[in-house]
């Protein structure tokens, strides 16, 4: 059975977005807050964020205590100002996503990789939080 950590701040953010959608209409794919997956890989937590169209040099990653913050900017070259859009769903602008990790981290050992529009951040657990094997001594 897998344990799922529910972040109350993420739940609150989702509820606020649902309320705004109800009041002003759904923003659709143009939302800039990147979707993330967070999972436990044994000795580390792994966060995967979808950031298509964002170059790695426009992404800033901060780890403090048990919190990962992703910041950056997505830019697109605009057609000339006289262009009449028929549909505009791709969002551009600054984004910020804060993810609380459910355990203590060795933040100085964090590593990040960006491939095919997906950012993967590996956050090793603090040494005292890592699983360890205990030897049984014969009596």
Tens of pLDDT, residues 22-69? 776 555 444 578 999 999 998 999 999 999 989 999 999 999 989 999
Q: What pLDDT does 125 receive?
A: 92
pTM of the model: 0.69
pLDDT bin (cut points 50, 70, 90) of residue 3 is: low
User: How far apart are the C-alpha atoms of 94 and 117, rounded to whole Å?
Assistant: 16
- Does residue 39 contact residue 46 with C-beta atoms inside 8 Å? yes
Handedness of CA 5, 16, 112, 125 (dihedral sign): negative
Q: What is the pLDDT of residues 84-135, one digit of tens each?
A: 777 777 778 889 999 999 889 998 999 999 999 999 999 999 887 677 788 8
Whole-number Cα distances in Å, 137 to 70, 123, 131, 133: 46, 33, 19, 13
């Amino acid at each position: 059975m897998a344990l799922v950590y529910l972040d109350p701040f993420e739940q609150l953010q989702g509820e606020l977005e649902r309320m705004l959608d109800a009041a002003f209409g759904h923003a659709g794919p143009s939302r800039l807050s990147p979707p993330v997956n967070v999972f436990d890989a044994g000795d580390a937590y792994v966060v995967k964020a979808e950031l298509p169209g964002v170059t790695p040099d426009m992404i800033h990653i901060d780890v403090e205590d048990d919190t990962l913050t992703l910041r950056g900017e997505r830019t697109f070259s605009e057609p000339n100002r006289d262009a009449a859009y028929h549909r505009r769903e791709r969002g551009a602008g600054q984004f910020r996503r804060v993810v609380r990790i459910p355990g203590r981290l060795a933040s100085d050992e964090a590593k990040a990789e960006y491939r095919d529009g997906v950012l993967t951040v590996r956050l090793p657990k603090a040494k005292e939080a890592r699983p360890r094997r205990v030897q049984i001594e014969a009596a």
